[in-house]
Amino acid sequence: MRSRSDFIDVDFTETTNKTLIENCHGEDKANTPTDDDGQDFYLGPHGSRPSRREYERLVGEWLQNGRSLPIDPQCITVAELINAYRKHAETYYVKNGRQTDEVKGVKAALRYLRRTYGDKRAAEFGPLSLEVVRQKMIDAGISPDGSRPA
């Protein structure tokens, strides 16, 4: 049976590994590490080697993921995925320090995707959904580069 001391409370707002480890408590804390979504994590019996390994893994993932916890792929929405891809595109499609025209086309496509499926879980988005978005763009006269033909 899991006891209260099997969980740790970690302040994931801290900025260094040292501070994260210093803020780790085990004795009388009922809380588990959480992010903004309130995810809880069972690490194992308090003070055990497996719990320490799990803690180190969790902190490592948090650091590798830009100081935020990875999102369960079954729970992410299309809008969340769109935001992540838009940020990627704005930094990836750069030449000589400026965004290329590719970013314009990406943003145009993402607007239609968000309007149509933004609130849906990404796991529910499939080929038929893509065809619907594509048809909406065609009906609106949007070309692959994001412009409207003259």
| Mean pLDDT, residues 107-124 taken together | 92
47-84 confidence digits (pLDDT tens): 889 888 988 888 888 888 887 776 677 788 999 899 98
What Å distances lie between residue 36 and 2, 33, 54, 67, 80, CA to CA? Answer: 24, 10, 20, 11, 14
CB 90 within 8 A of CB 110: no
Could you please report the per-residue DSSP string of 101-120?
A: THHHHHHHHHHHHHHHHTTS
Q: What is the pLDDT of residue 139?
A: 92
4-57 confidence digits (pLDDT tens): 444 445 544 443 333 333 334 343 333 344 444 455 677 888 888 988 898 888
